[in-house]
Amino acid sequence: MARIGPDELSRWFDAHAGAMVLYARQWLDPAAAEDAVQEVFLRLVRTPPAPRHVRAWLFRAVRNTAINRLRSRRRRTHHERTRADAGPAWFDARADDPVDPAAIQGALARLPVEQREVVVLRTWAGMGFEEIAGTVGRPVSTVFGWYRAALTSLRATMRASCNPTT
């Protein structure tokens, strides 16, 4: 397979850049997440030959880049991990949204990072569980367990936020 050309790169960017930045923000602040995603796209162009499963490759590369950056930042500054929910909103707010995006963001931010990344990959990257398992390097059953646990936690959090007295 040949390298990724400009048209193809543009197509992958339009389809997945938003979800990739959202995915990178599970570990990094917004600016660092965008840097990581941009670096991944440049690496995709330089990779000869192009990967067979580009989407899986992109998200795996974002994951590795983000975790590496987080580790190096920890080594350099000895600061606490950047809070994933810091900075601008994760989702575009629209009038017809069935739920409050900020509430979802808050609920997602409280999840363990492994559950959160499975939800992001499943929901906004449109991956199947096998593809997610390949990306995070865990068995499919584990990944599915995390996803189900994440949904249960999210539902409980949202129910609690909707009915604060109960």
Partner 1 sequence: MQPDNLTPADEELARVLGGLRPAATGIDRDTLMFAAGRASTQRRVRAWQGLSAAAATLLVVALVVPPRAMPTRVTVERPRQTPGSERIAARPAPTPAEADAVPLVDASYLKLRNAVLARGVDVLTPPASPARRAPVPSPSPRDWRGAGPWIGSRAFSGDNL
Residue ranges in contact with partner 1 by CB under 8 A: 3, 6, 9-10, 13, 17-19, 21-22, 30-31, 34, 37-38, 41-42, 45-46, 48, 88-92, 94, 97-99, 101, 104, 119, 122-124, 129, 140-141, 144-145, 148, 151-152, 154-155
Residue 25's nearest CA partner among 61, 53, 62 is 62
Nearest distance from C-beta of residue 132 to partner 1, angstroms: 11
Nearest distance from C-beta of residue 15 to partner 1, angstroms: 12
φ/ψ bin of 126: left (φ > 0), alpha (ψ from -120 to 50), beta (otherwise): left
Nearest distance from C-beta of residue 93 to partner 1, angstroms: 9
Q: Which is nearer to partner 1, 74 or 99 (CB)?
A: 99
Residue 30's nearest CA partner among 38, 22, 41 is 22
- DSSP-derived secondary structure for 25-72: TTTS-HHHHHHHHHHHHHHHHH-SSPPSSHHHHHHHHHHHHHHHHHHH
Nearest distance from C-beta of residue 116 to partner 1, angstroms: 12
